[in-house]
Structure 1
Amino acid sequence: MGGNGVNGTVAAGWERVREEFEAFAAAEPHSPEAQLAVHHRGRRVVDLWAGEDTDADTLSGVFSITKGAAHLVVALLVQDGTLELDRPVSAYWPEFTGYGKERLTLRQLISHQSGLINVDEGFDYEEIADDALIAARLAGQKPYWEPGTAYGYHAFVIGALTGEVVRRATGMSIQEVYEERIRAPYGLDLYMGLPASQEGRWKPVLEMLPTPEQAAAQAAAGPVPELLAVAFNWHREPPMDLVTHANHPRTRELGPASAGGIGSARGVAGLYAAAIGEVGSRAALLKPETATEFARLQMPGQEVLTGEWDHFGLGFEQQHAVGPLAFGHCGAAGGQGFADPVTGIAYGYTRRRFGFPGGIAPENGRLTAAVLEVARGL
């Protein structure tokens, strides 16, 4: 397997998952620098990694997996009554008005219905790392569709919008609430703002190296749809490069809640394990009814940017391959994280090497199937 050799451990009975991970790593033309961690009913049962320069403790950019951490904060604040899903955003954030924004509820906001996918001029790398700056600019921006009438992926701004509501309601940033209530108590290797003490464990995200066949397929796909380009900050000159964003010092420092988290597969799996079940002496973060509400499909139909169907619960992506009560979020380089209360699975997968074609990497399908096969068999 060359530089793609697999290291780590699996618990007895979980060997099938290791076999699938080894098969994927062996087939990769370039070192994926990948990690896989799985918890089953609070116990870590899979802890694997593959690559030339990655181990279990390596931290790197996880892109939109960060949205799962951010919206777990929102779920906690709804659960304890600090936030109300069906209250207008403007009740918390008075400046959030105009163009129908004043009627948008928190429920609609966090299910990507606001239409505020970017500002017309876009953001540079320093700006897009700063959630407070993004929120201030978006407050006066005309939405790209009438709020509440459609939904589309707010790729780099949803955490800033959500985070401003959190700040107005609590007096703390979403990053601060996450650190206080989730990351620190559970000792998670998933950060929104990487401490200086952890910098030595950080390694950069690596660019995609497509095969000639993949590069040809990419070229034949044609231009990116206009609204999708806006959402990914590609409508400005020069267009934003995702790898540069993930590796930018300000991204690591500030931990923007949309796509700026730094972590490991252990951290991602640990987040979702804490969300749905006991971890050590600590109770689950979410009550079953809260988890069910946040997992539930919010707006059936087609997403206006990507064309996908039935995509979002409350801040989390639907997990159609797992089950109706599962909730989670993928990341641009290929990573994925989710919780499934039915099987008790918490899954975390990260890649430092961008997978083709971007977004959730195809190997997640095989890995998830193997994990669920074992869990259901138990």
Structure 2
Amino acid sequence: MAVHGTVAAGFEGVREEFAAFLAGEEHAPGAQLVVQRGGERVVDLWSDGVTGASLLGVFSSTKGAAYLVTALLVQDGVLDLDRTVASYWPDFAAEGKGGITLRELLAHRAGVIGLDDGFTPDEMYDDRAIAARLAGQRPFWQPGRFFGYHGLVIGALVGEVVFRATGRTLQEWFEERVRAPYDLDLWLGLPESEEPRFLTTLPMLPTPEQQAELEAAAHSPYSLGGIAFNEHAAGNGELYAFPNSRTARASGQASAGGIGSARGLAGMYAAAAFGLDGDGPLLKPDTAAEFARIHSEGKDLVSDQPQAFGLGFQTYGTHFRSIGAGTFGHSGAAGSLALADPRQGYAYAYTRRRFAFPGGAAPENERLLWSVVRALA
């Protein structure tokens, strides 16, 4: 499979690592890889099956955009991390949720991972509808005591706080403060004019051994993991197909509905941490450090796996040995990973068109990240 695109001098090893992965990939994933050193794009690669300008569903990598908007509003003094969610959104106080702070919500400690009876497909596309139904839901654990990934609803919950505090949606803030100023290929609500660049997400094609592993790890649709991913709801579709709906792409659901490219994701994190186009960084160092600081670490009640979260952002230093402390970012179900590593001075984004096994940040990210760190050194 061919590798296309460019790398700056000194980053040839990144291209070689990308090519080595693709050579062993039986089913063409259609992958994009972009690295920004500070504000400079030093790696811009893609494989057959996509182009550098192709737009893909980035699933939970969308959450990075939601958390960046939240961080900016905290930095501006509009939001206070230690105020209760109910002080902005009174209905949220129902069923014992009145004491949950915005900080606890962002750290996945609220316990409001889904609904007892699940969401309809139409509700899953609409953050305000998700939030309205979750306001009356009882938590699935004692808030603040444990943590678990609020995979399909965290963007709606945080977005409702943003809306109640400002009168504007999180998606509107992202467009005004982040996407439009830097002309980023990353949308929370894809315009009709950009539709020709969108490529449908392709399902995972596991080997027989991988399929057996997936079946062995399966959980009940009524488990915490099943409820968090709406698997118990009538009409719930396959996760891979979520961005393939025009309704989902147009709504820009802030947990998993973003549409973009590796260029867009890397540009967003570069703008946040280092600055782009001659502008300074969007986040002050203290703000970036606070949102990257680990707030929840250990066994995640939803995924039943070790996880570490800052304020919304995943803190990958505990999972990828190549990454520096204070790194903040987010992965997506199809295999994408996007982050900023302030200490080592780069932003990284990787996307895939075909779902990777076993889901979440694709395994090849480990080798690709190491190649980036070696090039920087």
| Normalised TM-score (structure 1) | 0.96
Paired letter, 1:94: P
Equivalent of 2:153 in 129, 153, 157: 157
In 2, Cα distance between equivalents of 1:222 and 1:277: 41
CA contact (8 A) 2:120 2:235 kept: no
Query: Structure 1 residue 144 and structure 2 residue 145: aligned?
Result: no
> How far is 1:112 from its partner?
0.7
Equivalent of 2:194 in 195, 198, 206: 198
> How far is 1:67 from its partner?
0.3
Show the 5 A alignment for 1:293-304.
293-304=290-301
In 2, Cα distance between equivalents of 1:44 and 1:327: 19
Paired letter, 2:309: F
Change (3 A) 1:303 1:221: closer
In 2, Cα distance between equivalents of 1:183 and 1:246: 19
Change (3 A) 1:155 1:79: same
Q: Equivalent residue for 2:369?
A: 368
> How far is 1:126 from its partner?
1.6
Paired letter, 1:21: F
- CA distances 1:355-374 after superposition (whole Å, capped 9, x unpaired): 11111100001001111121
CA contact (8 A) 1:99 1:146 kept: no
> How far is 1:222 from its partner?
4.2
CA contact (8 A) 1:317 1:329 kept: yes
Q: Equivalent residue for 1:38?
A: 35
> How far is 1:158 from its partner?
0.2
> How far is 1:276 from its partner?
0.6
Show the 5 A alignment for 1:1-378.
4-52=1-49, 54-223=50-219, 226-320=223-317, 321=320, 322-375=323-376, 377=377
State the superposition RMSD in angstroms: 1.2
In 2, Cα distance between equivalents of 1:195 and 1:22: 33
CA contact (8 A) 1:32 1:353 kept: yes
> How far is 1:224 from its partner?
5.0
Instruction: Name structure 2 gaps, 5 residues minimum.
Output: none
> How far is 1:310 from its partner?
4.7
Residue 96 of structure 1 aligns to a residue whose secondary structure is: helix
In 2, Cα distance between equivalents of 1:45 and 1:318: 24
Aligned length: 372
Paired letter, 2:261: S
In 2, Cα distance between equivalents of 1:329 and 1:323: 15
Change (3 A) 1:249 1:303: same
Residue 98 of structure 2 aligns to a residue whose secondary structure is: helix
| Normalised TM-score (structure 2) | 0.96
The percent of aligned pairs where both chains have the same amino acid is: 55
